[in-house]
Chain A
Amino acid sequence: MIQIENLNFTYSGAARPSLSDISLHIAPGQFVLLCGPTGCGKSTLLRMMKPELTPAGERSGRILYNGNEIAANDRLVEVGFVMQNPEQQVVTDRVWHELAFGLENLGVPSDVIRRRCAEIAAYFDLEKSFEKDTNALSGGEKQQLVVASTMIMGCKVLLLDEPTSQLDPIAANRFFLWLEQLRREFGITIVMAEHHLEEIFGEADRVVYMDNGRIRAQGTPAQVAWEMLTAQDTFAAALPTVTRLFFDANTHRDPFVSLREAKGSTEYAQLVEAAKKRLSAASGGAVASRETTAKREESAAVTLSNVYYAYDDRSPSVLNNLSFSIPAGACTAIVGGNGSGKSTLLKVVAGLAPLKKHAGKVKFSGENRADRQRISFLMQDVTTLFTEETVYEEIVAGVKAKVDNGGEGFVENFLKEHGFEALTAHFPQHPYDLSGGEQQMLGLTKLLLRDPQILLLDEPTKGMDAVAKDQLAALIAKKTKEDVTVVLVTHDLDFAALCADYAAMLFRGEILSKERADRFFADNVFYTTHKNRALNA
């Protein structure tokens, strides 16, 4: 269906080519997964296949769609494109109008639009939400709406550029299942670029692994996983946990790509044993250090007592009689489903959501009023912090005095200390030109420069790849060693298990349990890390 022959592409004004010698064949009905580290060229490749969105630059090589070459000014309606951020893709204010938008653009007459909208609403069970305001939809629903309104135009190929990066894992899962249903019933071709490989890696028909604009490996998921693991690529950390856990280079068996596959194998139990042994050997030191941390005096940095919070008088309480103490000098992960009130809890601690008179108390290290400057709160949308033109200005904004007093190279040293050297290269760039992970790094830098005693992080791993996640985990460990209290709110349970000392679950406005992180995840059956799921027989 789509044939790419020897494609090279350089952005106009760029020094290096973004794509070098790409040759790819996508058969109709296939599900092709593009993966690779940030900046490898996945998005660029996807955009090349959609002529309306092809960026300006030098191009050599051919892209053929059904045998016809795609030129730069073509319009290819049969190819649909879905981007990362569902918020930014919804154009109109009503669901029905969003569905009709594409057809209106094509000049389809009104009664045809009516019929199409009706049938797609019936198929996707959107009848109840037909009149809804698009602002009222959740992130996942919005992304589904975008796909639906692309599908209504009758596209045969769906290109998705990291569609779940802005969604929480539960919504992401739902999205993937839904796509799977579409693929099964309509046989559309799907080309997806993703970081979040945990669930989707096993579902793909073909996986294309790219790095630095070149294709490193293509083939079935098992093949590509084998190649990556044997080559000990750094990107192998992004592979699904099951694949990594049960991989043994000595056997010539294909790596497992899903837990079902693994459990179906006859050697499952031995594999679990082997994996456990390997893990305890590797992380022995880490466990020990964890226990030493546990033996330290556990004073509470923040204590919340009987907190009730509601957004206004008429809405139900988000936090219901919540009592919780956050241990000082440790990283506490707060997990919970959507709408459980995690972000609100952080806002209450940060003082952004002031409590009413009899709605509970927030105590800081024994006193009621802490020095507010020492709490730093990184919110979900990092871009809300960016007000300057360049990254360097952004870093020094607000802490000019400190930077001046620190002398030459203060900023560079600071970045190096915290593992953010990558930002140094981007100093003259605009903050919005950075990738998602780099933006998170920039936000964290801004916060850390203010020398906080309590660091609150709300979904810091959104849009990060595995490498960046490791870096962040290292940073958190460093900070806790420096006696900074870190509170982490996340959906990413693997990440929470990686760096948290304590974990607590927030359910319907109350904290249910607070335990040491490893015990917490080990005790949970469903809401737990992939590793635990894989290893619990």
Chain B
Amino acid sequence: MRVYLHSRTWFVYFIMVIAILMSIRHPVLILIGLESGLLWWKILGRKLRIAHIFAALFLLGALAVANPLTSSNGATILFYLNGRAFTAEALAYGLLFGAVLVVTLLWCVILSELMTTDRWLNVCGRRFRKTGLVLTMVFRFFPLFTKQWHRIREGQEALEGGSPVGLKATFRMTKRELLCMLTWSLEHGFVTADAMLARGYGAAKRTFFNRETYKAASIGVAIALLAAFTAVITLAIRGGMEAEIYPYVRIHMDGVMDIIGFAAFFLLCHIPMISGKVLREERRMRS
């Protein structure tokens, strides 16, 4: 049960990266986020498929085109569409926002991949024991209930002699499935509650089976992450790394504050990847 980085450190790491990406929408930061995200992708053993690239490009393009249709902020009007101004700056903003979305989605997938159920439980830890228990039960019951939903669907289809045809029939079928699911889950819950009681639930104050240890490395990494994060945020507040789109596109890239900010974010993203032990552990977990 040797663990190298505490779950809370991981959690904080992801929150920081995603928060920075979403709030400071600067193209260079997005590029850094993309690069480190793809690196994580490789470490976790996932392959970058063509479908992903196509989907990402589609998202980018769709947002780039959709944004000017809804927002007319921006000084350079290209043409008027149905009375609404279609500005070049809105196009640029759509592109930027699409990039932010794609990279954030990438990081969210990495988050869900790295934060296994064990890790989520340890984030709750000793302090939020009840939440931890609820979380673990959710992780248990969610796949179970989905499986049961499929079974119910099959059972109903078997009864009716086939899948429903037409909107009304589908609606009726879904209603029936829902009712069935509700009752079933209630009954299921009763038995589970009994099982929990049988195993002493409520006898005493619950303890938390702690499988992770706070090594000095975790604390050190957490401090480093915090330092990088505060660096980026303070630089952003003080005016560095500005990427204004409205009313005119002004992207700052050459100031001292900008460069330091980029470096700090680069560091933030790559800190957990520095240690070989962490990487080996992740690979081992997923082999």
Contact = CB atoms under 8 A, between A and B. Distances in A.
Direct contact of A and B (CB under 8 A): yes
Interface of A: 50, 52-53, 75, 77, 80-81, 83, 85, 87-94, 96-97, 100-110, 113-114, 117, 131, 134-135, 146, 149-150, 153, 347, 350-352, 372-379, 381, 383-387, 398, 432, 446-447, 450, 456
B14 interface: no
Contacts of B151: 379, 381, 384
B210 A110 contact: yes
A107 B207 contact: yes
Contact of B158 (A96, A100, A376): A376
B270 to A, nearest CB: 28
B155 A384 contact: yes
B137 A92 contact: yes
Contacts, number: 157
Interface in B154-171: 154-162
Interface string B153-193: 01111111110000000000000100110011001100110
Given A94-B136, A352-B158, A432-B183, 5 more contacts: A83-B198, A97-B121, A105-B199, A108-B207, A450-B161
A77 B199 CA distance: 7
A387 B272 CA distance: 51
A344 B141 CA distance: 25
B77 to A, nearest CB: 50
A93 B162 CA distance: 34
Contacts of B208: 104, 110
Contacts of A149: 199
Nearest to A397: B176
5 contacts: A80-B198, A92-B136, A92-B137, A93-B137, A107-B203
Contacts of A398: 159-160
Given A77-B200, A88-B192, A375-B161, A135 B144 contact: yes
Given A94-B118, A97-B209, A398-B159, A106 B200 contact: yes
B131 interface: no
- Interface hub of A53, A93, A450 (most chain B Cβ within 10 A): A93
A106 to B, nearest CB: 5
Contact of A153 (B144, B148, B200): B200
Interface of B: 1, 117-118, 121, 136-137, 139-140, 143-144, 147-148, 151-152, 154-162, 176, 179-180, 183-184, 187-188, 191-192, 194-211
A83 B195 contact: yes
A83 B155 contact: no
Contacts of A83: 191, 194-195, 198
Contacts of A386: 180, 183
Contacts of B162: 351, 372-373
Given A93-B136, A383-B184, A107 B158 contact: no
B180 A387 contact: yes
Given A97-B136, A153-B200, A398-B159, A105 B117 contact: no
Contacts of B201: 105
Nearest to A75: B203
B203 A432 contact: no
Contacts of B154: 347, 352, 379, 384
A352 B159 CA distance: 11
Contacts of A450: 159, 161
B191 A106 contact: no
Nearest to B190: A88
B140 A92 contact: yes
